[in-house]
Amino acid sequence: MSNLVEVRNLRIEAKTDSGRLVEIIKGVSLDIADGEIVALIGESGSGKTTVALSLMGYARPGCRITGGEINVSGRNMAALSEKERARLRGTDIAYVPQSAAASFNPSSTVMEQVIEVTRIHKLMPPERARQRAVELFRALSLPDPEGIGARYPHQVSGGQLQRLSAAMALIGDPKLVIFDEPTTALDVTTQIDVLKAFKSVMRAGGVAGVYVSHDLAVVAQIADRIVVLKGGEVQETGTTAAILSAAQHPYTRELLAAFEPKPRQAHADADAGTKQLLRIDNVTAGYGAVRADGLPLIRAVDSVSLVVEKGRNLGVIGESGCGKSTLARVIAGIHPAAAGDIVFDGKELQRAARKRSQDQLREMQIVFQYADTALNPAKPVEDIISRPLAFYHRLDRQARSKRVDELLDMVRLPRTLRYRHPSELSGGQKQRVNFARALAAAPKLIICDEITSALDTVVASAVIELLKELQRELGLSYIFISHDLSVVEAICDEIMVMYNGERVEQITPDKVTAPTHPYSKLLFSSVPKLDPTWLDGLVRDPELVSQYGHR
Amino acid sequence: MTIARATTSRRSFLGHSYSLVGVVAALVILAWTLVAILAPYVIPHSIGDIVDDDYFGPMRQGLWLGSDYLGRDMLSRVLMGARYTVGISLAAVSIACFSGVVLGMIAAVTGGWLDTCLSRFLDAMNSIPSKLFGLVVVAAVGSSIPVLILTLAVIYIPGAYRFARALAVNINTMDFITVARVRGESTVYLIGSEILPNIIRPVLADFGLRFVFIVLLLSGLSFLGLGLQPPLADWGALVRENIGGLPFAAPAVIVPSLAIASLTISVNLLIDNLPQKIRDRDA
């Protein structure tokens, strides 16, 4: 057998509540040579994680491997007993999960957890394992390789934790490592460090890898070959360069197209952009005890001012923890500001939402990042969308029902969806319902807090297109909060860059190539490009990285 | 493997799946409820009449469940006892769960000093042993059906409150609650329409469990002579007054015990096997 992994005609079935069998993987075949990194990409629900997990002979609860062969270094994982599989996991095949934070045990040190694999499989004495772990920490360019092992998971950053979980996977000297969207939850500036570390370690050790992701640009940096999945079937396979330059399958082209959103056309009606809709002046807000000067101990938002004009959009961009979400909550009145003024539509607004009038509340709507928690799981879509209609507009039952149909049409959802519960919708559908509820209030301003971050590329770009269309039809303004520059660029007239609670720069999208503030430079240069050589060719000013990066 | 277990012994009907155990338990509860309602019309003898020459008489024609320690008809007394046991417990558990759950949700949504005061007060209530509390109340105001209902309800409010509050606090942190707050919704809407639908299942399970506790506590109080006063008797009282029949294996002591067991076990089985709505994304 020439290849390390040979998957032939893999079939996996899942069983629904009513006992119906659904084939979720429909005859997938793929090969991975020694030392090769293969990326599995596709939208959510395409079966990429299911295929990756099956390489360990694992099927998630309710699923069953029903056919095909999964040969990993000559052994058919599908046919082995659970005990034999357990022996291979950690030694031959290792796994790096999406959320490292959730995969570490908070009550024991990082080192204990990294060397646990060697203890379980009795690979080497603990002393030797510790030395090996420190070598790996160094190879993964973790700061303080000797000391970091003694810390607890909450004492290291998200990017470091993700690299530590890679160390955990590599310590057993596996032949194959499965990466399950390891950088999706990280900031772009951190993502680069993690990707670089992964790439150098994998290359040095000659370890083969499977990299599951929905981000084509990330995959382009690390993978030798790309396998595109959709609906449990392989759509296209090819070398990274071939897929990026000459994609054959329509779905792959769609993925590529979604990555580069159409630039926003210049505003047609010039007179619309003259009136101020929202102005905030020197707003400060934060958490913790209030000090003598009336300001909170920890300032998440520090004297930020901004202006949103009618019919135009403001983008707020920055890494996690920079205070952009707090800013959204301050404007909406969920988290009352400690100081500063908020003027909306010519009138001074109260800082706390419960002191604002019903009309003021109606005219400013906020849409949250996680549609899963923003929609009441116990209610059908119909009830969710019609509540603002009943509450603000006092519509009767018939008028509400008619309006719900219109709103569902507006967000491009089939009308029959109104009877479903949120749990029965896909991520993109949920976010559309979430948005329809905000539209139901007939607002003037919608604050979008990272609304596309939980969605995959194709769906996110469709949602952005929808937002633009609705803006043209309804004359809305958006405040668009995101950590994703390409998304903000696509929809906003002005972009405000935040760092550490402060506004560092405000620029227009046509000038993102030439930011003036050093942090903006670092941030914008860290966005991955669809060029396989981008990561290797990337040179970052070390002074900038040490000043603003979180390593 | 979990799938295989879920599909055995479950039947589906009207979009819900039922387990056989749950159906049987529901039938037992339904039967006792009917007995409680219809008892006065079906009992063969008045509960106070002495109809047997012997005490602790055996089961025989005319006296289907034998006679008690005074020679009264046991069948009549058990049937009428169902009325008091089921009726008092149901009334008490309804009051306890309704007040507890409403207070718990209000405390979770409002927070602040209201939450602190309510929680500490009810924690203090919770720390009083239940039988002792019942003893003091009955000693102070005497035993009557309304007093029993209120006493039992008060004893179980803190538990229901704690349970509902713990559930509601979790729901309260969700974004959809924030959305509703920013919309300007009132507390009544928040607890009734946003929180309650998400906690109703565990609350119902808790309701069933608390019903069982109350049946047992009522029986316990009656056993101590603090419950219903003669000649009325609930099942607990029936066990107590006939405890002397134990050496003779008299049905008078066994039958009310079986009645208590059948009701409490059935309620438990039912809440463990409530019908499940079948959710199937593609169907």
CB-CB neighbors (< 8 A) of A394 in chain B: none
Q: Are residues A242 and A295 in the same domain?
A: no
Q: Is B12 near chain A, with CB under 8 Å?
A: yes
Q: Which pLDDT band, with edges at 50, 70 and 90, does A265 fall under?
A: low
Minimal Cβ distance to B198: which of A15, A18, A378 = A378
Q: Which of A371-380, A520-529, B31-40 has the lowest mean pLDDT?
A: A520-529
CB-CB neighbors (< 8 A) of A360 in chain B: none
CB-CB neighbors (< 8 A) of B278 in chain A: 17-18
Contact between residue A371 and residue A434 where contact means Cβ atoms under 8 Å apart: yes
Q: What is the DSSP secondary structure assignment for residue B105, as one 8-state letter?
A: H
User: Where are chain B's structural domains?
Assistant: 14-277
Q: With CA atoms as reference, report the closest residue to A25 among A41, A12, A42.
A: A12
Q: In whole numbers, what is the pLDDT of chain B averaged over residues?
A: 85
From the CA of A130, how many Å to the nearest CA of chain B? 39
In whole angstroms, give the CA distance from residue A252 to residue A246.
Answer: 10
In whole angstroms, give the CA distance from residue A358 to residue A368.
Answer: 20
- What pLDDT shows up at residue A261? 56
Q: Do B184 and A353 touch (CB under 8 A)?
A: yes
Would strands A208-213 and A37-41 be described as parallel, antiparallel, or unpaired? parallel
Domain boundary among the residues A259, A292, A326 is at: A259
Contacting B with CB below 8 Å, chain A residues are: 15-20, 22, 61-62, 332-334, 353-354, 356, 358, 361, 366, 368, 370, 373-379, 387-388, 391-392, 421, 423-424, 437, 441
In whole angstroms, give the CA distance from residue A133 to residue A117.
Answer: 11
3-state secondary structure of A365: strand
In whole angstroms, give the CA distance from residue A87 to residue A92.
Answer: 8
From the CA of B273, how many Å to the nearest CA of chain A? 16
Q: Is B191 near chain A, with CB under 8 Å?
A: no
Q: For A131-135, what is the mean pLDDT? A: 90
* Angle at alpha carbon of residue A306, lines to A505 and A263, rounded to 5°: 65
Q: In whole numbers, what is the pLDDT of chain A averaged over residues?
A: 83
* Angle at alpha carbon of residue A263, lines to A181 and A464, rounded to 5°: 55
Q: For B90-104, what is the mean pLDDT? A: 94
Share of chain A above pLDDT 70, in %: 94
In whole angstroms, give the CA distance from residue B105 to residue B135.
Answer: 31
Select the more confidently predicted residue: B195 or B47: B195
The pLDDT tens digits of the residues spanning B225-279 come to 887 877 788 888 888 888 888 888 888 888 888 998 898 889 888 887 877 766 5
- Position B224 pLDDT exceeds 50: yes
- Position B163 pLDDT exceeds 90: yes
From the CA of A386, how many Å to the nearest CA of chain B? 13
Q: Which of A316-325, A382-391, A434-443, B136-145 has the lowest mean pLDDT?
A: A316-325
Contact between residue B251 and residue B63 where contact means Cβ atoms under 8 Å apart: no
Cβ-proximal residues to A330 (8 Å cutoff; 6+ apart), any chain: A283, A285, A301, A336, A337, A342, A351
The pLDDT tens digits of the residues spanning B69-85 come to 788 888 888 888 888 88
CB-CB neighbors (< 8 A) of B283 in chain A: 16, 18, 20
Q: What is the DSSP secondary structure assignment for residue A51, as one 8-state letter?
A: H
Q: DSSP string covering A325-356, please?
A: HHHHHHHHTSS--SEEEEEETTEEPPSSGGGS
> Using CA atoms in the order B182, A484, A223, A197, what is the torsion angle rounded to 10 degrees?
-90
In whole angstroms, give the CA distance from residue B159 to residue B148.
Answer: 18
- Structural domain contains residue A33: no
The pLDDT tens digits of the residues spanning A378-389 come to 899 999 999 999
Q: Is B181 near chain A, with CB under 8 Å?
A: yes
CB-CB neighbors (< 8 A) of B174 in chain A: 373-374, 376
Select the more confidently predicted residue: A19 or A50: A50
State the helix-helix crossing angle for A427-440 and A457-474, rounded to 10 degrees. Answer: 20
- What pLDDT shows up at residue A260? 65
Is the Cα dihedral A479, A481, A484, A485 positive or negative?
positive
Select the more confidently predicted residue: A276 or A133: A133
Q: Do A374 and B176 touch (CB under 8 A)?
A: yes
- Strands ordered across the beta sheet of A75-76: A21-32, A5-15, A63-72, A75-76
Partner A, chain B 59-98, Cβ-Cβ below 8 Å: none
CB-CB neighbors (< 8 A) of A16 in chain B: 280-283
Contact between residue A305 and residue A280 where contact means Cβ atoms under 8 Å apart: yes
- What pLDDT shows up at residue A446? 92
* Residues across chain A: 551
- Position A434 pLDDT exceeds 50: yes
CB-CB neighbors (< 8 A) of A424 in chain B: 279, 281
In whole angstroms, give the CA distance from residue B248 to residue B245.
Answer: 5
CB-CB neighbors (< 8 A) of B7 in chain A: 19
Q: Is B8 near chain A, with CB under 8 Å?
A: no
Q: Is B170 near chain A, with CB under 8 Å?
A: no
CB-CB neighbors (< 8 A) of A392 in chain B: 183
Question: What are the start-end ranges of the H helices in A180-302?
Answer: 188-205, 216-222, 240-245, 250-259
Select the more confidently predicted residue: A275 or A113: A113
In whole angstroms, give the CA distance from residue B7 to residue B208.
Answer: 25
Residue B124 CA: distances (Å) to CA of A155, A507, B120, B157: 39, 60, 6, 12
Q: Do A15 and B198 touch (CB under 8 A)?
A: no
Q: Is B110 near chain A, with CB under 8 Å?
A: no
- What pLDDT shows up at residue A270? 47
Cβ atoms within 10 Å, residue B28 = 16
- Taking CA atoms, what residue in A is nearest to B176? A374
- The two tokens of residue A357 are 């009038």
Q: Which pLDDT band, with edges at 50, 70 and 90, does B49 fall under?
A: confident
Q: Are residues A213 and A126 in the same domain?
A: yes
Q: For A280-287, what is the mean pLDDT? A: 86
Contact between residue A252 and residue A240 where contact means Cβ atoms under 8 Å apart: no
- Taking CA atoms, what residue in B is nearest to A424? B281
Minimal Cβ distance to B185: which of A17, A391, A424 = A391
Domain boundary among the residues A237, A259, A281 is at: A259
Would strands B10-13 and B16-19 be described as parallel, antiparallel, or unpaired? antiparallel
Q: Is the ipTM of this complex over 0.85?
A: no
Q: Is B4 near chain A, with CB under 8 Å?
A: no
In whole angstroms, give the CA distance from residue B72 to residue B94.
Answer: 33
| DSSP bridge pairs for A464 | none
Contact between residue A23 and residue A232 where contact means Cβ atoms under 8 Å apart: yes
- What pLDDT shows up at residue B5? 42
Q: Is B14 near chain A, with CB under 8 Å?
A: no
From the CA of B211, how many Å to the nearest CA of chain A? 26
- What pLDDT shows up at residue B1? 36
- What pLDDT shows up at residue B283? 35
In whole angstroms, give the CA distance from residue A75 to residue A78.
Answer: 9
- Position A456 pLDDT exceeds 80: no
- Taking CA atoms, what residue in B is nearest to A14? B3
Share of chain B above pLDDT 90, in %: 28
CATH number of the domain enclosing A215 = 3.40.50.300
- What pLDDT shows up at residue A60? 78
Q: With CA atoms as reference, report the closest residue to A220 among A486, A37, A456.
A: A37
Contact between residue B105 and residue B168 where contact means Cβ atoms under 8 Å apart: yes
Test the B interface: residue of A375, A376, A382, A426 with most B CBs within 10 Å: A376
Would strands A5-15 and A225-230 be described as parallel, antiparallel, or unpaired? unpaired
3-state secondary structure of A524: helix
- Strands ordered across the beta sheet of A233-239: A93-96, A176-180, A208-213, A37-41, A225-230, A233-239
| A–B interface: beta-carbon pairs under 8 A | 74
Beta-strand runs (E) in A477-548: 477-482, 494-499, 502-507
Q: For A506-535, what is the mean pLDDT? A: 77
Q: With CA atoms as reference, report the closest residue to A12 among A56, A86, A62.
A: A62
Options 1.10.3720.10, 1.10.101.10, 1.10.760.10, 3.40.50.2000; CATH of B14-277: 1.10.3720.10
- Structural domain contains residue A320: yes
Q: Which residues of B203-235 are buried (b: 16+ CB within 10 A; e: fewer)?
A: bebbbbbbbbbbbebbbbbbbeebbbeeebbbb
Q: Are residues A279 and A245 in the same domain?
A: no
Q: Do B181 and A391 touch (CB under 8 A)?
A: no
pTM to 2 decimal places: 0.75
- What pLDDT shows up at residue B6? 43
In whole angstroms, give the CA distance from residue B274 to residue B283.
Answer: 22
Q: Which of A119-133, B5-19, B155-169 has the lowest mean pLDDT?
A: B5-19
Q: Is B197 near chain A, with CB under 8 Å?
A: yes
Q: For A408-428, what is the mean pLDDT? A: 83
Q: Which pLDDT band, with edges at 50, 70 and 90, does B117 fall under?
A: very high
Q: For A347-351, what is the mean pLDDT? A: 86
Q: Is B280 near chain A, with CB under 8 Å?
A: yes
CB-CB neighbors (< 8 A) of A62 in chain B: 2-3
Phi, psi at residue A98, to the nearest 5°? Answer: -65, -50
Q: Are residues A106 and A226 in the same domain?
A: yes
- Position B102 pLDDT exceeds 90: yes
Contact between residue A459 and residue A43 where contact means Cβ atoms under 8 Å apart: yes
From the CA of B50, how many Å to the nearest CA of chain A? 57
In whole angstroms, give the CA distance from residue B128 to residue B28.
Answer: 34
- Position A237 pLDDT exceeds 50: yes
- Position A213 pLDDT exceeds 90: no
Q: Do B281 and A361 touch (CB under 8 A)?
A: no
- Structural domain contains residue A429: no
What residue numbers bound the domain in which A451 lies? 270-376+442-529
Test the A interface: residue of B9, B171, B176, B177 with most A CBs within 10 Å: B176
Q: Which pLDDT band, with edges at 50, 70 and 90, does A162 fall under?
A: confident
Share of chain A above pLDDT 90, in %: 9
In terms of Cβ atoms closer than 10 Å to its own Cβ (0-12, 13-18, 19+), residue A531 is middle
Q: Are residues A311 and A352 in the same domain?
A: yes
- Taking CA atoms, what residue in A is nearest to B17? A18
From the CA of A156, how many Å to the nearest CA of chain B? 26
| DSSP bridge pairs for A30 | A7
Q: Do A373 and B280 touch (CB under 8 A)?
A: no
Q: For A133-138, what is the mean pLDDT? A: 89
Q: Do B178 and A361 touch (CB under 8 A)?
A: no
- What pLDDT shows up at residue B7? 41
Minimal Cβ distance to A62: which of B3, B182, B185 = B3
Minimal Cβ distance to A373: which of B175, B181, B183 = B175
- What pLDDT shows up at residue B105? 94
Q: Is B3 near chain A, with CB under 8 Å?
A: yes
Q: Are residues A198 and A106 in the same domain?
A: yes
In whole angstroms, give the CA distance from residue A246 to residue A238.
Answer: 10
Cβ atoms within 10 Å, residue A82 = 8
Cβ-proximal residues to A91 (8 Å cutoff; 6+ apart), any chain: A117, A121, A123, A172, A173, A174
Cβ-proximal residues to A129 (8 Å cutoff; 6+ apart), any chain: A115, A118, A119, A123, A171
Q: 């002579």: which residue's tokens? A: B225
Q: Are residues A293 and A254 in the same domain?
A: no
Test the A interface: residue of B16, B173, B183, B282 with most A CBs within 10 Å: B183
- Count structural domains, chain A: 2
In whole angstroms, give the CA distance from residue A213 to residue B28.
Answer: 55
Q: Which pLDDT band, with edges at 50, 70 and 90, does A17 fall under?
A: low
Beta-strand runs (E) in A89-175: 93-96
* Angle at alpha carbon of residue A259, lines to A257 and A264, rounded to 5°: 85
Minimal Cβ distance to A377: which of B183, B198, B200 = B198
Contact between residue A33 and residue A3 where contact means Cβ atoms under 8 Å apart: yes
In terms of Cβ atoms closer than 10 Å to its own Cβ (0-12, 13-18, 19+), residue A80 is middle
Q: Are residues A121 and A244 in the same domain?
A: yes
Q: Do A353 and B174 touch (CB under 8 A)?
A: no
